[in-house]
Chains A and B, each alone.
Chain A
């Protein structure tokens, strides 16, 4: 614990990442208590109010006169929820499949599942997303699942290849001699040892998924109003881009900052895990 606190303090970029991410998580959790106004309330008097003009509406108001700050706070809540949930889902699914494949290698189960990941990777994600979101209505759970389609094959492959090398190590052999069953070896021994190698990817994937989520909303395939996500807010402003650029610019910068935070953390963890990059 003491060591990790020291590491965070010594590493500027990493601490900036932690700082940004903790603030956005805080905003996401306590959104209903910290919003200054109801994000759905339209006040016609303040339509298209520019940011930093009025202290009571610091980020201005959109084309209906809804307070931008409140909308962005709720947008962070939804966008963060979706990206974190979808990465956790794909980590769980991909991780379990990878573990089972690695243990099964070179068996039929492994061959079949690896071909399925090939097929998934062979489909450009945006095409999958468009087809899937034409099939089912875009709700929060369905968007989470669609987004995880993009990331699970990478987890399955990474976990599989690490499992294959871990399988041959002494500690696994020792566990086997002590009579541990396959399931126990997979989750208690190998799975636990793989966690540090996966963690940096998780952080980088949350960043990537956040971008994909906002992209889907931006091209009108993602969540529809009244649900507010950061991509939705940008899509709303896109029609006014040539005159009122800040309507898309402000939520865009917010996405950028949060994604930057997750990328800072992920990059640093990756360097920490890969000792060759440390020199």
Chain B
């Protein structure tokens, strides 16, 4: 178990380094001059000076070397467009994005497990059809379209929640819902199918035969074995989550890390984009890694390989 963990952590670190290098190089091949974007009316000499200040005049490898050595000092560089250090900007926007992450994960797990259990317990009934239908409908709706519908219903018609910017906790509800609904659908389908699969197996039949109360069979036997595949599913859904954050923050103008990244990218604010991509990818890779390791730990069959 220890060697597997160590190997996995080293692999993760390697991937993070590669992602940093590739995004660094790609960002600098994109056409567009950051100095020009910042000062559209400046003369050529002034532009040169700005470029010198930003350090974009040196060769790309020198820039990368400097970037990495700064990185080890915990310095992500300086965003000239925001007049602030990149790390400060990122730290400032992370809590708002984490709110969305926590909200949507809690919602999708709670609603997904509940509805999945109900569907599996009433399989082949109308209730099951409704829940499964809802799940497939949610998975088929483009998330930005879902956002539009949510804005129309809860924002414009009912005026229940704010739809733009960040005005307290209520602003997180609609974006979180937009991120959560497709994940909820995936959780419902996963729980339903693994419970139905489990209920055909002998250990569940044996538990029933021993006269154990069906609620206890569900929680102690059925759900427990369903959790491993659920964990795997959450790992796979991380991509949906990260993509959803970008879309939600963009559509709702929600001031989180996703919106900062997109704005920085469109402004050719290299260091800001670079820092944000580094943080987001690392988060993504680390969470996936933890999930990977924990189901290796939970499922003894996987430990050997």
With an 8 Å Cβ cutoff, the count of chain B residues facing the other chain is 46
B16/A122 in contact, CB under 8 A = yes
B15/A207 in contact, CB under 8 A = no
A127-B261, A267-B136 as given contacts; A255 in contact with B23, CB under 8 Å: no
| B153 CB, nearest partner CB in chain A, Å | 11
Per-residue CB proximity of B13-28 to A under 8 Å, as 1/0?
Answer: 0111011001100110
| B285 CB, nearest partner CB in chain A, Å | 5
A134/B14 in contact, CB under 8 A = no
A115-B14, A118-B15, A259-B142 as given contacts; A126 in contact with B136, CB under 8 Å: no
Q: Is A121 an interface residue (CB 8 A)?
A: yes
- Chain B residues whose CB sits within 8 angstroms of the CB of A238 once the complex forms: 148
With an 8 Å Cβ cutoff, the count of chain A residues facing the other chain is 38
B265/A130 in contact, CB under 8 A = yes
B26/A256 in contact, CB under 8 A = no
- Chain B residues whose CB sits within 8 angstroms of the CB of A263 once the complex forms: 136, 139-140
User: Which residues of chain B from 34 to 68 have a CB within 8 Å of any chain A CB?
Assistant: none
Per-residue CB proximity of A141-177 to B under 8 Å, as 1/0?
Answer: 0000000000000000000000000000000000000
Interface 9-residue window, one of B81-89, B108-116, B240-248, B294-302 = B240-248
A276/B197 in contact, CB under 8 A = yes
Bound: A255/B142 CA distance, A: 8
B26/A277 in contact, CB under 8 A = no
Secondary structure of the B side of the interface? helix
Closest to A257 in B: B140
B136/A134 in contact, CB under 8 A = no
- One of B22, B30, B247 near A135 (C-beta < 8 A): B30
A135-B26, A260-B136, A279-B200 as given contacts; A241 in contact with B148, CB under 8 Å: yes
A119/B239 in contact, CB under 8 A = no
B11/A115 in contact, CB under 8 A = yes
B193/A277 in contact, CB under 8 A = yes
Bound: A197/B9 CA distance, A: 31
A219/B250 in contact, CB under 8 A = yes
- Chain B residues whose CB sits within 8 angstroms of the CB of A248 once the complex forms: 145, 148
Q: Is B204 an interface residue (CB 8 A)?
A: no
A123-B19, A211-B142 as given contacts; A131 in contact with B26, CB under 8 Å: yes
Per-residue CB proximity of A205-226 to B under 8 Å, as 1/0?
Answer: 0010001001100110000000
Closest to A125 in B: B243
Per-residue CB proximity of B179-218 to A under 8 Å, as 1/0?
Answer: 0000000000000010011001000000000000000000
A124/B15 in contact, CB under 8 A = no
Can you list 5 pairs linking A and B with CB atoms under 8 Å apart?
A118-B15, A134-B31, A245-B148, A248-B145, A276-B197
Chain B contacts to A: CB under 8 angstroms: 11, 14-16, 18-19, 22-23, 26-27, 29-32, 136-137, 139-145, 148, 151-152, 156, 193, 196-197, 200, 239, 242-243, 246-247, 250, 261-262, 265, 277, 280-281, 284-285, 288
Chain A contacts to B: CB under 8 angstroms: 115, 118-119, 121-127, 130-131, 134-135, 207, 211, 214-215, 218-219, 234, 238, 241-242, 245, 248-249, 252, 255-256, 259-260, 263-264, 267, 276-277, 279
